[in-house]
Amino acid sequence: MSLLHVTLILLTLAGNAYSQVTSFPSTLKVKVFADVGANVTLPCHFSSKDSQTFGSRIKWIKVADDEALNQDVLLSMGLHTKTYGRFENRVSLETEGGEDASILITEVTKDDSGTYRCDIANGMEDAVQEVVLEVQSFIGVVFPYSPHLGRYNLNFDEAVQACLDQDAQVASFDQLFAAWEDGLDWCNAGWLNDGTVQYPITKPRQPCGGSNNQPGLRSYGRRDKQMSRYDVFCYISELMGDVYWLEQPHRLTFDEAVQACIDDDAEIAKVGHMYAAWKLRGYDRCDAGWLADGSVRYPISRPRKNCSPTDAAVRFVAFPDKDQNSYGVYCFKAGQSGAR
């Protein structure tokens, strides 16, 4: 048996034994924050300037309410380090040696939120520190977009412009991942800002990558930015104004809708405005109305019969003939306090 295998066995045995300790020295506690998909450092330092991490045993645990359910994260002894479970290949010591036993967690998820315990023993000084990690979702909303031409009609440059036209930008992988964790499920593939094409699935089914696959982001990888054509995922971080339904005595054509908003010292709302009002402010209205791209949509935050029976969503109606006077209009006024 190789020396490496013996070392890993000893690390595992030491980790199991150490996890059974039920009494700890008094602990220091700090709180750190991270966004979904980001990297974060959990700090842990010796209290003595004379102490060195080299040759010490460093044990990181994710603490549960029931100590029996604690999760091992990392164990380091001398030159050898082992990570465990879902932390494997995502956690490493921030530095080698010195006074620092901090760890780096990469690709943070919401499940990483919680309390972590750093235990250090070097024969001269034992130290215990606790870190509370709070993982925050992105403040903003990711929304899928395709133009009036239909699905899969945008190359990359056109996708960038399509999002800009909605006061948004092409979403990043981290933003789409956070949206997926928040429940976004969409079966059409769309561009991301790194030139990849992906789509989020929370409810696996046959037409969307197969019913036997796990939930997650389905990826087509990097595609030719000029020749390939897909939809796009856009991201808007905040709403700098007020989205509202403009009361009118009659239904409007598209041109009439545009003018009606102008007459109200506003502009016709964009799709990005609608999604931001819906997601960030809980805007809810069961009236189909024109938006600036010529589509007709309405926002539902409280699912109910005849509006959106099962899901909170921005409901898409159609890209109707612009001369059709069957709809109202949503307007946007910059600098206001909220949707109504």
Q: Is residue 124 part of a domain?
A: yes
**Domain co-membership, 180 together with 218:** yes
Quick one: how far is CA 151 from the chain centroid? 24
Please, which residues bridge with residue 8 across strands? none
**Domain co-membership, 118 together with 25:** yes
**Domain co-membership, 8 together with 54:** yes
Q: Which of 236, 255, 284 is the last residue of a domain?
A: 236
Q: Is residue 151 part of a domain?
A: yes
Quick one: how far is CA 69 from the chain centroid? 27
Q: Is 178 exposed, middle or buried (0-12, 13-18, 19+ CB in 10 A)?
A: buried
pLDDT computed for residue 121 by the predictor: 84
Q: Is residue 96 part of a domain?
A: yes
pLDDT computed for residue 160 by the predictor: 97
pLDDT computed for residue 34 by the predictor: 82
What total of structural domains would you count in the chain?
3
Q: Which 3 state secondary structure label does DSSP give 206?
A: helix
Q: Is 295 left (phi over 0), alpha (psi -120 to 50) or beta?
A: beta
Quick one: how far is CA 154 from the chain centroid? 24
Q: How many residues does the chain have?
A: 340
**Domain co-membership, 89 together with 156:** no
pLDDT computed for residue 135 by the predictor: 82
CA distances from 99 to 27, 45, 93, 94, 272 (A): 17, 6, 12, 11, 49
Please name the residue that has the structure tokens 């995502």.
90
The CATH code of the domain that includes 256 is 3.10.100.10
How many Cβ atoms sit within 10 Å of the Cβ of residue 107?
Answer: 14
Are the C-beta atoms of residues 165 and 236 closer than 8 Å to each other? no
**Domain co-membership, 257 together with 185:** no
Q: Which of 170, 203, 236 is the last residue of a domain?
A: 236
**Domain co-membership, 23 together with 103:** yes
Q: Which pTM was predicted?
A: 0.62
For 89, list phi and psi in degrees, rounded to 5.
70, 5
**Domain co-membership, 211 together with 149:** yes
pLDDT computed for residue 102 by the predictor: 92
Q: Which residues of 20-56 are buried (b: 16+ CB within 10 A; e: fewer)?
A: eeeeeeeeeeeeeebbbbbebebebbbeeeebebeeb
CA distances from 339 to 242, 246, 278, 326, 333 (A): 5, 12, 9, 23, 10
Q: Is 255 exposed, middle or buried (0-12, 13-18, 19+ CB in 10 A)?
A: exposed
pLDDT computed for residue 38 by the predictor: 76
Of 191, 64, 46, 62, which is closest to residue 124 (Cα–Cα)?
Answer: 46
Q: Is residue 322 part of a domain?
A: yes
**Domain co-membership, 128 together with 10:** yes
Tokens coding 229? 């054509």
**Domain co-membership, 18 together with 112:** yes
Q: Is residue 340 part of a domain?
A: no
pLDDT computed for residue 327 by the predictor: 98
Q: Is residue 150 part of a domain?
A: yes
pLDDT computed for residue 211 by the predictor: 85
**Domain co-membership, 128 together with 29:** yes
Q: Is residue 339 part of a domain?
A: no
pLDDT computed for residue 148 by the predictor: 94
**Domain co-membership, 203 together with 306:** no
Q: Is residue 97 part of a domain?
A: yes
Cα dihedral 55, 56, 60, 64 sign? positive
pLDDT computed for residue 247 by the predictor: 96
What range defines the domain where residue 112 resides? 3-136
Q: Which of 116, 136, 156 is the last residue of a domain?
A: 136
**Domain co-membership, 9 together with 130:** yes
Per residue of the chain (340 residues), what is the pLDDT tens digit? 443 443 444 444 444 444 443 334 445 578 898 877 778 999 988 655 544 545 678 999 999 989 899 999 999 987 889 999 989 989 999 875 556 889 999 988 878 999 999 998 876 667 889 999 988 766 789 999 999 999 999 999 999 999 999 999 999 998 999 899 889 999 999 999 999 999 999 999 988 988 888 899 999 999 999 999 999 999 998 899 999 999 999 999 999 999 999 999 999 999 999 999 999 999 999 999 999 999 999 999 999 998 999 999 999 999 999 999 999 999 999 985 545 5
The CATH code of the domain that includes 49 is 2.60.40.10
Q: Which 3 state secondary structure label does DSSP give 8?
A: helix
